[in-house]
């Protein structure tokens, strides 16, 4: 069945964590590996380097990532709140809750490049599913607008 690695289906969670293309789950959808290279951290190639899937599916495609980013940020806040509650605790007699607010804000700032990247990866995976036949070349319909435009000329 899956005799060689090329036919194995990579794990969805791992490919999302690693910012991989939603169609082949192998090619990186960001040009630079380091998310903390802030000048270039959101640069994406036009197409997936492995399967040819268009990364920006349509103009303004990634505007919707705000919803995913919001959900991820809330998840980080809830996780840090629970961690603070377990390891530090809250009390009405001191300012520990304000310390949590500050620490949480700094944590969100530090994680922001990662959250923005994961948001885009998850957003792309909402609309582009894993394709068993990704080796067959770019998906039907990718670059369709350009082809139509070329034919019109
Ligand atoms: Zn791909």
* pLDDT tens-digit readout, 115-145: 999 999 999 999 999 988 888 777 766 554 4
In a domain, 25, yes or no: yes
What's the domain range around 36? 14-152
The pLDDT of 101-116, averaged and rounded, is 97
Ligand 1 center to residue 130 CA distance, Å?
9
Ligand 1 center to residue 21 CA distance, Å?
5
Ligand 1 center to residue 61 CA distance, Å?
17
In a domain, 3, yes or no: no
Ligand 1 center to residue 24 CA distance, Å?
4
Q: Is 20 helix (H, G, I), strand (E, B) or coil?
A: strand
Ligand 1 center to residue 103 CA distance, Å?
37
In a domain, 1, yes or no: no
The model carries a pTM of: 0.82
Token pair of 132 as six digits: 């068993």
In a domain, 51, yes or no: yes
Q: Structural domain tally of the chain?
A: 1
In a domain, 54, yes or no: yes
pLDDT digits (tens, 9 = 90+) for 56-75: 989 999 999 999 999 999 99
Q: Which residues pair with 20 in a beta bridge?
A: 28
């Amino acid at each position: 069945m899956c005799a060689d690695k090329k036919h194995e289906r990579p794990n969805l969670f791992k490919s999302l964590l690693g910012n991989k293309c939603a169609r082949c789950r192998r090619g990186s959808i960001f040009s630079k590996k380091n998310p903390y290279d802030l000048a270039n951290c959101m640069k994406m190639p036009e197409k997936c380097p492995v399967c040819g899937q268009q990364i920006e599916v349509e103009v303004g495609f990634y505007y919707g990532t705000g919803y995913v980013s919001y959900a991820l940020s809330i998840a980080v806040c809830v996780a840090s709140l629970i961690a603070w509650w377990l390891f530090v605790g809250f009390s009405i007699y001191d300012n520990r809750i304000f310390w949590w607010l500050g620490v949480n804000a700094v944590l969100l700032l530090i994680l922001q490049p990662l959250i923005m990247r994961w948001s885009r990866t998850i957003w792309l995976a909402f609309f582009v599913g894993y394709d068993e036949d990704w080796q067959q070349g770019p998906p039907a319909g990718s670059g369709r607008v350009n082809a139509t435009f070329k034919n019109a000329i």
